[in-house]
Homo-oligomer: A and B are copies of this chain.
């Protein structure tokens, strides 16, 4: 039968030379793209930080339909440089101070590259045992770094999983809590379930609760105040729960935050979890921003009191699976990348000591920025800094020095809005803003892997100059 001969159709159809994964072509193009990215990082300060293009800029530069014939990588990279780069907001720029960390590191990048290259789909153990087992191991490493209770580690009968996004972590725990409760009180009572959050909780949580079928009229958004530094007040939580129970509703789930998106506020986990325990509720701690800072002993106390309410959920799952974990059952999607490779490479390449240094470096640069702002009476800090985000604005008194008539809070908000817009339009820096307790403020987040004191100082000088010009014109 000639099993080992090349089939005659083969030459005309698809040959190694044109295989989409020909190793030598892979090597050639791979090196080219690594060089392209290294040059990109080298030159990143030359680009405007926030893209300056107008809506729908790209359509006129690209054809209307997919090319029929193949094009060489050189042409594609040329178009990338010419048409795509101007439409990027450069998140790795050292002067990108907007939003929250999304820092690229060489080790993290290589972890993703290896995961993409192996392209295994680790939804169950056998689909690639190493993908599951390495995740078990590095989740225990990470749990130990955060000094979680032993019962949260695989080695203590618990276990962890790398979710793709915060939203997925919220949705999967919310659905588990919901179904556990509905088994007790009956499927038809889904309309009675209540979830609790603060007015500072990330909006992903309401989206997750909506997708999970919780009635939006049962989202209890608890107000925070400046006096509490915009963190959840345990008494308000208790009052809300009591009112719901008296109204015949069923308290289900509370979302607490360590490091809110707007001002990095930290909810008091201990008292909140005690209340939740009384009412047999689930607590989810969203530490998407500040969680990583908790690998430094000086920030670890922010997690105290958490992570002890319902560890039995994970314990049961680990137990049920006997010898191994099938991660598809620990998340909402079936497919998953070999995510653990990235965390493994980052932890090994930098070591705990350098990761702590990196976080402390960012916090110290934020302190430095805070000191610069404090030295200039035209500015004020809006909420106390906890990590590496500084919330500041042009102060009302600076406005009043320049104006003949007393400025309203609205005037102050307006000049700060103009300030952030003019800074971002300059292309030299990128910042975002927030509104808290009626106050419009500017968020200066230290987050880039390439950011150093030089960039912070340059940003501050730019802020002073733009503020000066706006105050003079007002």
Contacts and interface: CB of A to CB of B under 8 A. Distances in A.
Q: Copy number of this protein in the oligomer?
A: 2
Contacts of A332: 167, 171, 207, 211
A34 B37 contact: no
A129 interface: yes
A68 B127 CA distance: 32
Most B-side CB within 10 Å, residue of A144, A190, A211: A211
A117 interface: yes
Contacts of A36: 114
A334 to B, nearest CB: 5
Interface stretch (A134-142, A226-234, A310-318, A396-404): A134-142
Interface residues of A, number: 161
Given A84-B134, A105-B20, A13 B361 contact: yes
Interface string A307-333: 000000000000000011000000011
B88 A130 contact: yes
A301 interface: no
Listed residue (A14, A27, A65, A212) with the most chain B CB atoms within 10 angstroms of its CB: A14
Interface stretch (A249-257, A406-414, A434-442, A449-457): A449-457
A60 to B, nearest CB: 11
A92 interface: yes
B109 A117 contact: yes
Given A3-B461, A165-B335, A324 B56 contact: yes
A52 B28 CA distance: 32
Which of A164, A333, A354 has the most B CB atoms < 10 Å from its CB? A333
Given A14-B452, A38-B26, A33 B113 contact: yes
A178 interface: yes
21 contacts: A7-B454, A13-B357, A20-B350, A21-B105, A21-B106, A30-B106, A51-B126, A55-B129, A56-B133, A59-B137, A66-B347, A66-B351, A83-B130, A86-B130, A88-B120, A88-B130, A104-B119, A109-B117, A171-B211, A190-B191, A203-B334
A116 B110 CA distance: 9
